[in-house]
Amino acid sequence: MIFFLRSCIKYFLFAGVFSLFINTLQLTFPLYMLAVYVRVLDSYSFSTLYATTAMALFALAVFGGLELLRSRLLVRAGIRLDALLTRKVLKAMLQDLSRADSLNYRSGLRDINTLRNYLGGNAIFAFFDVPWIFIYLGVIYLVHPVLGMTATGGAIVIFFIGLLQNGLTKKDILKAQVVNNQGRQWVQTGFRTARELQTMGMINNTAERFCGIHDQELRLQDRIGHTGHLLGAVGQSFGILMQVLIFGTGAALVLAHEANPGVIIAASIIMGRALAPINQGIGAWKQTSGAKTAYMNLSRLLKSVENKPRLTPGEMNGHLVVKDVSLSIGETPILEAIDFELKPGDIMGLMGPNGVGKTSLCRMILGMWAPASGRVTLDNRDVFQLDNDDLGQSLGYLPQNVELFSGTVSENIARMGRVDGGKVVEAAKRAGAHETILKFPNGYDTDIGEAGQSLSGGQRQRVGLARALYGNPRLVILDEPDSNLDAAGDQALAGALRHLKQAGATTVMITHKPGLLSTVDKILMLEKGRQKRFGKRDEVFGQMTGE
Q: Residue 8: which of 87, 115, 107, 125 has the closest Cα?
A: 115
Domain contains 435: yes
Q: In whole angstroms, what is the distance from residue 160 CA to residue 113 CA?
A: 30
Q: What mean pLDDT do residues 138-165 have? A: 85
Q: In whole angstroms, what is the distance from residue 547 CA to residue 545 CA?
A: 6
In this structure, are 180 and 327 located in the same domain? no
pLDDT digits (tens, 9 = 90+) for 370-429: 888 999 999 888 888 887 777 778 899 998 888 888 889 999 999 888 899 999 999 999
Domain contains 306: no
Q: Residue 107: which of 295, 327, 363 has the closest Cα?
A: 295
Residue 439 is classified by DSSP as T
Which string of b and e fits 391-414 if b means at least 16 CB within 10 Å? bbebbbbbbeebebeebbbbbbbb
Band the pLDDT of 187: cuts 50, 70, 90: confident
Contact 59, 28 (CB under 8 A): yes
3-state secondary structure (DSSP) of residue 242: helix
Contact 448, 454 (CB under 8 A): yes
In this structure, are 523 and 405 located in the same domain? yes
Q: Say which amino acid occupies 476.
A: V
Domain contains 307: no
Q: What mean pLDDT do residues 144-165 have? A: 86
Q: In whole angstroms, what is the distance from residue 384 CA to residue 371 CA?
A: 9
Looking at per-residue pLDDT, the higher value among 484 and 24 belongs to 24
With 80 as the cut, is the pLDDT of residue 492 above it? yes
| Average pLDDT over all residues of the chain | 85
pLDDT digits (tens, 9 = 90+) for 204-263: 888 888 899 999 999 998 998 888 788 878 877 887 888 888 888 888 888 888 877 777
Burial class (CB within 10 angstroms; exposed 0-12, middle 13-18, buried 19+) of 370? middle
Q: Residue 80's Cα: distance from chain center in Å?
A: 16
CA torsion through residues 65, 66, 69, 75, sign: negative
CA distances from 31 to 52, 292, 385, 453 (A): 10, 38, 66, 69
With 80 as the cut, is the pLDDT of residue 451 above it? no
Q: What is the DSSP string of 460-487?
A: HHHHHHHHHHTT--SEEEEESTTTT--H
Share of the chain above pLDDT 70, in %: 95
With 70 as the cut, is the pLDDT of residue 314 above it? no
In this structure, are 76 and 157 located in the same domain? no
The pLDDT, as a whole number, for residue 468 is 93
What residues contact 440, with CB distance under 8 A and at least 6 apart?
A: 409, 446
pLDDT digits (tens, 9 = 90+) for 250-282: 888 888 888 777 777 778 888 888 887 777 776
Domain boundary among 283, 299, 332: 283
Q: Which of 117-131, 158-172, 308-322, 390-404 has the lowest mean pLDDT?
A: 308-322
475 forms beta bridges with 395, 506
On whether the pTM is more than 0.95, the answer is no
The pLDDT, as a whole number, for residue 117 is 87
Band the pLDDT of 509: cuts 50, 70, 90: very high
The pLDDT, as a whole number, for residue 310 is 57
CATH number at residue 390: 3.40.50.300
3-state secondary structure (DSSP) of residue 368: coil
Domain contains 291: no
With 70 as the cut, is the pLDDT of residue 312 above it? no
In this structure, are 139 and 118 located in the same domain? no
Domain contains 289: no
What residues contact 78, with CB distance under 8 A and at least 6 apart?
A: 115, 116, 117, 118, 119, 120
Band the pLDDT of 283: cuts 50, 70, 90: low
Query: What element of type H or E holds 51?
Result: helix 46-97
The pLDDT, as a whole number, for residue 20 is 86
Query: What element of type H or E holds 409?
Result: helix 409-413
3-state secondary structure (DSSP) of residue 535: strand
Domain boundary among 123, 147, 169: 123
336 forms beta bridges with 530
460 forms beta bridges with none
Q: In whole angstroms, what is the distance from residue 430 CA to residue 496 CA?
A: 5
Domain boundary among 123, 150, 170: 123
527 forms beta bridges with 530
CA distances from 428 to 21, 345, 463, 495 (A): 66, 20, 7, 12
In this structure, are 354 and 473 located in the same domain? yes
In this structure, are 136 and 259 located in the same domain? yes
CA distances from 511 to 54, 55, 322, 398, 477 (A): 87, 85, 20, 13, 11
In this structure, are 181 and 271 located in the same domain? yes
Q: What is the DSSP string of 62-102?
A: HHHHHHHHHHHHHHHHHHHHHHHHHHHHHHHHHHHHTSTT-
Contact 224, 165 (CB under 8 A): no
The pLDDT, as a whole number, for residue 197 is 80
In this structure, are 373 and 519 located in the same domain? yes
In this structure, are 233 and 165 located in the same domain? yes
Q: What mean pLDDT do residues 167-190 have? A: 84
Contact 519, 494 (CB under 8 A): yes
Q: What mean pLDDT do residues 298-322 have? A: 76
Domain contains 274: yes
Domain contains 24: yes
With 70 as the cut, is the pLDDT of residue 11 above it? yes
Domain contains 311: no
Q: Which domain holds residue 256?
A: 131-283
What is the layout of strands, in order, in the sheet containing 320-329? Answer: 381-382, 373-378, 320-329, 332-342, 530-536, 522-527, 347-351, 506-510, 475-479, 395-398
In this structure, are 138 and 267 located in the same domain? yes
Q: Report the number of distinct structural domains present in the chain.
A: 3
In this structure, are 195 and 213 located in the same domain? yes
Looking at per-residue pLDDT, the higher value among 411 and 143 belongs to 411
In this structure, are 72 and 117 located in the same domain? yes
Query: What element of type H or E holds 329?
Result: strand 320-329
Q: In whole angstroms, what is the distance from residue 144 CA to residue 250 CA?
A: 9
pLDDT digits (tens, 9 = 90+) for 61-116: 999 999 899 888 888 888 888 888 888 888 888 777 776 666 777 788 888 998 88
β-pairing verdict for 475-479 and 395-398: parallel
Q: Say which amino acid occupies 436.
A: T
